[in-house]
Structure 1
């Protein structure tokens, strides 16, 4: 099984949504051939990992059942794995994760951090694959109602720490755990920026951190036009995504998850060539 921690970092994870309703590219890669071609192209552009998801987690999104989620992702994963692309499965369901691993996925990216399906930890532990534990408070249809914090950095850190403890107790190896602050999931723009400024507090937990700002609504709000209309998601927030991704890498993030791979890979190459040290921040 591939050891993601051994990949030369910072790692760029490419996003491949095989859904009709994802916020940025819903429907664009719902066709299997289009999805596989895009995954191969992202690998060629420098993605170390392609993250395949079959259920939209945008705010307000309705859920699909496990059968439909599997129908969307498994053929794509099989073809990408056969083409030599390292694939992670973006799912909150243990059954989908298990089927995806059998199809060739080498990691699980779970936006619920194990909360949505208590069987997920058992699958991950048994398969010995890396597991991205994201900070999460509820499913898409109600998550923004849960964006209430006294101290967002301290609370996200504490809740992620509990997710890690639960994973370890379930038998998941410490060196298979990656954490993600969950920008936009039960968080408003101010929360996202506060977490971005204080990634060191999360890194102090001692685990690699995946940062995923790509095309999210808080960047659209930042780039709003004179009339206050947010910048649309479809490719018009990519420069801001690159900027936030480089900030995260400079702060010590292990990897970034993005829609537009090449620009991010190029920007990280520039940052690395500059010799600029990673920022250090006490928790």
Structure 2
């Protein structure tokens, strides 16, 4: 299930770094541990987006100006989602970087039908490689139209699916069909405009800082429906529980596929605002030229 967690922003104009997934990851991990339910301490089958809202760019980062901002959280386990949201709503004042937030309400995204071929967009960067300590390999650029790009995603996805224990051996053997086909027209257009679809991001794992390359581009995934469902709910690629590899269906109108969920601030009267919708891949492209501080190599 995918939940939109909507916060009110108390200090408009405050900013986060361009690349703030690690801040969100630390915040969510802190909540998971704070709740005290040990069964979820090492739960890795969840995924989340960047913080979405109306922003302006400066040298400091992204300045948020909308009244509401949104974080999309996804996991197949409803008990985990409810546990996490319970901890969020026990925290009336939340500080993320320079932002001061207060949780207001939640919405559940109505699950779209998934087929054996789906076109996805990235609403958080896609990471292919898991680096080791004191190793630069995680930053290596891999051309999206090569077999290696698709093969690395296949290997990481099947490994995670097998470790989950949700699929028997016969099912796992049937998942051999897997192909990621990036939209190279989109990629080449960005290249012509000298915009970026691949950047270097910081990831913290077990208190160790790593640098990895993340990709933001549309692509078509050819795979079994069970595989499509897994990556849609749990993310695609490496470090998905750190906020990387969150996907959405292309040409899917987010505002038309939600329903109220059970968590909201007491006394809050729900209202709709389009300003906090998660940005799509084509919207994110407009930021490419502005994030020039990130590495191209």
- When normalised by structure 2's length, the TM-score is 0.27
Flag the structure with larger Rg.
2
- Higher share in strand: 2
